[in-house]
Amino acid sequence: MKALAALLLACVFCTISPVMAQSATEVVMRVATLVHAESGNRGCGVRVTGGRTEPKGPSSWFDASFNVYRQGPALVQAIGYEIAPPEFDEQTPPERVAIQRAWLKVEDATGTTRLGENAYVRDSLVYALTMDEAVALFAGLAKGKRFAIGVRRWGQREETVYVGTPQLDDEQRRELGTCLAGLVP
């Protein structure tokens, strides 16, 4: 309950626009707010997507979300995509790629970062966070901090790390603030 109260305090930042220390990012991170109401277990989250295009090969993209619920653990879900270069004037649809491990963190965060890892080849990854880890992600988002998102595909030796600043618009801030306030009974 103490961590949930801290999350709500972090949400106070959701009502004011962040002051950005840097405007340049290595990838553009797009943001969508998530509201969950399955089976009466209300939850809130943020989906962050982005990636980089490759001029001669497939482009690499990520889709990651972090979520908190009234009951149960906070969760991260990560998905990786590849988009082949278009042939002629046709759009190429994205294809999911198998994810071995992933992590999310506020770039200047101290301490350890929770790592999610699949034991079997799957095209998505879901792993639990502590409430304190989730609060740190929401607070970093609210303050306009840069995020680092690491994704390792099956068969790769190293992670691809995406760095950027996900930004909520005013409507998303209101929606997320209302959702988070609704988590407290």
Mean pLDDT of 141-158: 91
Distance of alpha carbon 164 from alpha carbon 180, whole angstroms? 24
Tens of pLDDT along 57-116? 788 889 999 999 998 889 999 999 988 887 656 777 889 999 999 999 998 888 778 899
Six token digits for residue 34 = 């998530």
Residue-range domain boundaries for the chain: 2-181
Helices and strands, counts by H and E, the chain? 3, 10
- Please write the tens of the pLDDT for every residue from 36-59: 887 778 899 999 999 887 777 788
User: Which of the four pLDDT bands, split at 50, 70 and 90, describes residue 120?
Assistant: very high
